[in-house]
């Protein structure tokens, strides 16, 4: 299991490659056998998963019922554009042109790593998404977590 963190500003080269930052590679336990799957994200970004994380998520998705329209559609959307990729000797990954077009990525890229995945954003879209951040993050946390998080004090 990974616990990835960080925001990284990168540039796409003319061939559609982005160099993975060394800080991110270290979080992935080196680069000897790195491989990933990239696909469309929920908001106009790409999702980059280490291969073993992808395999786990794909296994969950494969359990969905193909006879249910919603579940079948989710499977289609989840797999749409999914591509196996591996870094080259210069730690660059080649992002498929169709996925770059989907995410409107042209030159400036933000890699946003959290938990077990990395979102790949156009810098413009990422900044726009951040501009929609709620004024009261504490209210959002309350809405999301409600009473499910128990506070513990120093005496507990």
Residue 130 lies in a domain: no
Range of the domain at 76: 4-122
Number of domains in the chain: 1
Which band of pLDDT confidence, cut at 50, 70 and 90, is reported for residue 145? confident
- Specify if 129 maps to a domain: no
Cα dihedral value 26, 27, 33, 38, nearest 10: -130
* pLDDT band per the 50, 70, 90 thresholds, residue 50: very high
Domain presence at residue 107: yes
pLDDT recorded at residue 151: 54
* SS3 annotation, 75-132: HHHHHCCCEEECCCCCCEEECCHHHHHHCCCCCEEEEEEEECEEEEEEHHHHHHHHHC
Domain with residue 101: its CATH number is 3.40.1550.20
**Span 30-36, average pLDDT:** 74
């Amino acid at each position: 299991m990974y616990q990835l963190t960080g925001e990284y500003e990168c540039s796409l080269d003319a061939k559609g490659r982005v160099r993975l930052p060394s800080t991110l590679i270290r979080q992935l336990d080196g680069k000897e056998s790195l491989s990933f799957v990239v696909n469309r994200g929920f908001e106009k970004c790409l999702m980059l998963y280490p291969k073993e994380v992808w395999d786990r998520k794909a296994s969950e998705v494969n359990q969905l019922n193909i006879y249910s329209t919603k579940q079948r559609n989710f499977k289609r959307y989840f797999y749409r554009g999914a591509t196996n990729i591996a870094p080259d000797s210069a730690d660059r990954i080649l992002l498929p042109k169709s996925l770059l077009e989907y995410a409107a990525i042209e030159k400036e890229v933000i890699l946003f790593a959290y938990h077990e995945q990395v979102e790949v954003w156009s810098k413009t879209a990422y900044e726009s998404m951040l501009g929609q951040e709620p004024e009261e993050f504490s209210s959002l946390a309350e809405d999301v977590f409600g009473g499910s998080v128990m506070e513990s004090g120093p005496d507990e």
